[in-house]
Amino acid sequence: MAGNDSDFERILTKKDLFVLAFGAMIGWGWIIQTGFWIDEAGVAGSVLGFVVGAIMVCVVGLIYGELTSAMPFVGGEHVYSFRALGPLWSFVCTWSLVLGYVGVVVFEVVALPSAMAFIVPGFNVLELWTVAGEPVYATWILVGVLGTLGITYLNYIGIRIAAQFQIIMTVIIALAGVVLIAGAVTNGQPSPDSSFGAGTAGVFTVVLMTPFMFVGFDVIPQSAEEADVPARTLGLLIVFAVGLAALFYMAVIWGSSRALSGGALVDSSLPAAAAMAELYDSPTAGQLMALAGVAGILTSWNAFIIGGSRALFALSESGMLPEPLSKVHPEHNTPSNAILLVGGLSALAPLFGEQMLTWIVNAGGLGIVVAWFIVVISFLVLRYREPDMDRPYEVPGGPVVGVLGFVATAIFITLYLPGGQSALLWPYEWLIVLGWCVLGLVLYAFSGDRSVETADEVVRRIEALDE
């Protein structure tokens, strides 16, 4: 990695990084899932689920903060796990994370036509086939593919443009959330739902989805090599972004609950938009919320093409994926082939219809927590093996926080496994996971004999930071 003739430019500011992460975390999920959470767990149960999830994510975020400040290189998790555990576990960690990232991108590809169906009367035109009982319309495929082309091109031509786009879209989402909460305070009524819905099972259902809702803070370490900020600031930005996103989600749950019951919300294709329309007694208000939802789709979509492409770039530059994926565009200074791969994979999503949303949330969530688990282990290994490593941001009580992170992420993984509280669905969700593993093995095989030599270069670059 060192000595690359096409090093990334350090052009991202603190504001750019924070908005990339925060905008990724508060994307589209809260617009469509709020009713499901309240219906499953009740208002208090949903908030509790997010508190539990936020605690786990905040612990992991603290760990990321320290590692990012110590090793501010493109690829983030790939670098940490490589230094601590070697190439095999580094590949497992990063490839799992890319599943989560691509899962978010795929989610947004399908979510965009879903939002358009709410906004545009008669949008669902020309049913082509059904998947798991859900119809697939030609208009869905057209809008999903066009959206993919637009966001992929935006990232292809430069991260500065992508970051500026992210700022505009995130401001729109934040304003919509504030308006929703204001309506809940002035016009809302106490929720008719029981506080805890289906009890413990309902809370765990919400908890299971929180990693997917919070994923996004790790876009900061992925793009650290393009950041023009002090290393310590990188760590603090991660912690701040996670905390603020947690507060946002809990406020939206509370605000929506004061508009409609969980059952009424879940019957709407866009629960947050339905809540907004009810609070202001105006269908137009609901459509404006849906437009804010489109902004949320675009922020997550944009951020995770950035994160996913940088993770693929890092794997390729380490010799673990085919060499063309580590190409940096000579004019735009972006990992162009990696961006095109993420965009190409996501363009297939509309072919599978709206049901793909649930499948990819759960399958991608497993990939995310597996990556977090390996990052936590890397943190503990480096604390033990390299206590004198330069850590501009150092987590107070590091070993204790590391153990807490280990336990929390391990518990989350068990929830996804057969027999777990919310096990992945066979065959659809497990086929996504298994298919992703097969794809990784195929791409690894096509990387040829580059691994050992390039891996040594990765280690030398990491060690150079301490000099």
Q: Helix count (H) and strand count (E) of the chain? A: 17, 2
Question: Can you tell me the mean pLDDT for 201-214?
Answer: 78
The packing angle between helices 200-214 and 398-416, to 10°, is 110
> Does pLDDT of 7 surpass 80?
no
Q: For residues 19 and 321, what is the distance between their CA atoms, to the nearest angstrom? A: 30
Query: Residue 158, SS3?
Result: coil
Which of 412, 464, 418, 405 is CA-nearest to residue 70?
464
> Does pLDDT of 86 surpass 80?
yes
| Least confident stretch, 158-167, 225-234, 347-356, 454-463 | 454-463
322 phi and psi, to 5 degrees?
A: -55, 140
| Least confident stretch, 288-292, 452-456, 462-466 | 452-456
Residue owning tokens 């490593």 = 389
Provide the pLDDT for residue 351: 83
> Does pLDDT of 382 surpass 90?
yes
The packing angle between helices 398-416 and 29-70, to 10°, is 140
> Does pLDDT of 373 surpass 70?
yes
Provide the pLDDT for residue 452: 46
Provide the pLDDT for residue 461: 57
Q: What is the pLDDT of residues 95-152, one digit of tens each?
A: 998 898 888 788 788 888 877 887 788 888 888 888 777 788 899 889 889 989 988 9
129 phi and psi, to 5 degrees?
A: -165, 180
> Does pLDDT of 320 surpass 70?
yes
Question: Can you tell me the mean pLDDT for 280-303?
Answer: 83
Which stretches of 215-282 are DSSP H helices? 219-222, 231-257, 262-266, 271-279
Provide the pLDDT for residue 92: 92
Kind and range of the H or E element at 55? helix 29-70
Interior/surface letters 232-260, b for 16+ CB within 10 angstroms, e for the rest: bbbbbbbbbbbeebbebbbbbbbbbbbbb
- Residues forming a β-bridge with 12: 227
> Does pLDDT of 466 surpass 60?
no
> Does pLDDT of 2 surpass 50?
no
- Helix then strand then coil, % of the chain, to nearest 5: 75, 0, 25
The mean pLDDT value of the chain amounts to: 82
Please, which residues have CB within 8 angstroms of residue 342's CB and are 6 or more apart in sequence? 101, 102, 105, 152, 304, 305, 308, 309, 312
Task: Provide DSSP, 387-446.
Answer: TTS--SS--TTHHHHHHHHHHHHHHHHHHHSTTSTTPPPTTHHHHHHHHHHHHHHHHHHT
Q: For residues 10 and 415, what is the distance between their CA atoms, to the nearest angstrom? A: 39
Residue owning tokens 């947050």 = 272
Q: For residues 362 and 442, what is the distance between their CA atoms, to the nearest angstrom? A: 24
Q: For residues 63 and 57, what is the distance between their CA atoms, to the nearest angstrom? A: 10
One-letter amino acid of 450: R
Q: For residues 262 and 269, what is the distance between their CA atoms, to the nearest angstrom? A: 13
Q: What is the pLDDT of residues 45-81, one digit of tens each?
A: 888 888 888 888 888 888 988 888 888 777 778 888 9
Rounded to whole angstroms, what are the CA distances from 436 to 313, 339, 359, 420?
17, 18, 13, 21
Q: Are strands 134-137 and 127-131 parallel, antiparallel or unpaired?
A: antiparallel
Provide the pLDDT for residue 357: 67
Question: Can you tell me the mean pLDDT for 412-421?
Answer: 80
**CB atoms closer than 10 angstroms to residue 154:** 20
**For the whole model, what pTM was predicted?**
0.81
Work out the pLDDT band at 375, boundaries 50, 70, 90.
Answer: very high
Work out the pLDDT band at 5, boundaries 50, 70, 90.
Answer: very low
Work out the pLDDT band at 188, boundaries 50, 70, 90.
Answer: confident
Rounded to whole angstroms, what are the CA distances from 338 to 13, 344, 443?
23, 10, 13
Provide the pLDDT for residue 378: 95
Q: For residues 234 and 221, what is the distance between their CA atoms, to the nearest angstrom? A: 8
Provide the pLDDT for residue 403: 93
Residue owning tokens 């866009």 = 270
Q: For residues 179 and 174, what is the distance between their CA atoms, to the nearest angstrom? A: 9
